[in-house]
Structure 1
Amino acid sequence: MSHARHLICDIVKSPRHDEMYLYLDKTQGMEPVPAALRERFGKPMAVMTLLLRPERPLARVDVAKVIESIRRQGFYLQMPPAKAPYLLDLFTPRDEV
């Protein structure tokens, strides 16, 4: 088993944006995250520490992409899921009939 394929990561969530998360290399923390993203993200709120492994899938993102992104740029940004069009329709004003 190659440890180069594994990564210990901290997952933090944004207090400003519902369902926005950063996956960070545990050894580097927020340091590699650009200042503009840090400002938009807000003060990170710890969610969990996780051992990322290609053979153990994540719920909403491809674990291999997360590991590659963290190794390449120091973090992975998970954006909130897109809202289904029918849900957005709930907030669309209707014309009077």
Structure 2
Amino acid sequence: MKCFIYKSSKKDQLYLYLPRQDDFKDVPPILMDTMGQPVFVMELELNPERKLARANVAEVLAGLADRGFYLQMPPKDPLADMRVGS
């Protein structure tokens, strides 16, 4: 399955995967507000055997099929929990 990946113009390391290029109709407006202006990054061919750096390909494929998009969140800051109590 082909997918099209966009990065957020507002939040670092937030990525949106879509099954069709520039087709944001299935993405909730609140998510689009959070992302800001989506910036096209790349087109990628996905299959169950493909490895992705920070996402589970099965979850991406399921999100694309079920919701019409997949949102890849920024990685959790490992020091964030330590700073909360400080």
TM-score strictly above 0.5: yes
Letter in 2 for 1:69: G
TM-score (norm 2): 0.88
Q: Which entry has the higher C-alpha Rg, 1 or 2? A: 1
1:66 and 2:60 aligned:
yes
Task: Tell me what 1:56 maps to.
Answer: 50
d(CA) in 1 for partners of 2:17, 2:67: 11
TM-score (norm 1): 0.79
d(CA) in 1 for partners of 2:76, 2:33: 22
Aligned residues: 85
Whether contact under 8 Å (2:2, 2:44) holds in the other structure is yes
Q: Sequence identity of aligned pairs in percent? A: 42
Letter in 2 for 1:26: R
1:85 and 2:67 aligned:
no
Whether contact under 8 Å (1:28, 1:74) holds in the other structure is no
- Residue aligned with 1:37, SS: helix
Task: Tell me what 1:3 maps to.
Answer: none
Whether contact under 8 Å (2:4, 2:21) holds in the other structure is no
User: Over aligned residues, Cα RMSD in angstroms?
Assistant: 2.0
Structure 1, gaps ≥5 residues long: 1-6
Residue by residue over 1:11-62, the C-alpha shift from the partner in whole angstroms, topping out at 9 and shown as x without a partner, is: 0000100000000012672110011111111110000000111111111111
d(CA) in 1 for partners of 2:62, 2:32: 21
* 1:46 equivalent among 40, 43, 46: 40
Structure 2, gaps ≥5 residues long: none
Tell me the CA shift for residue 85 of structure 1: 1.6
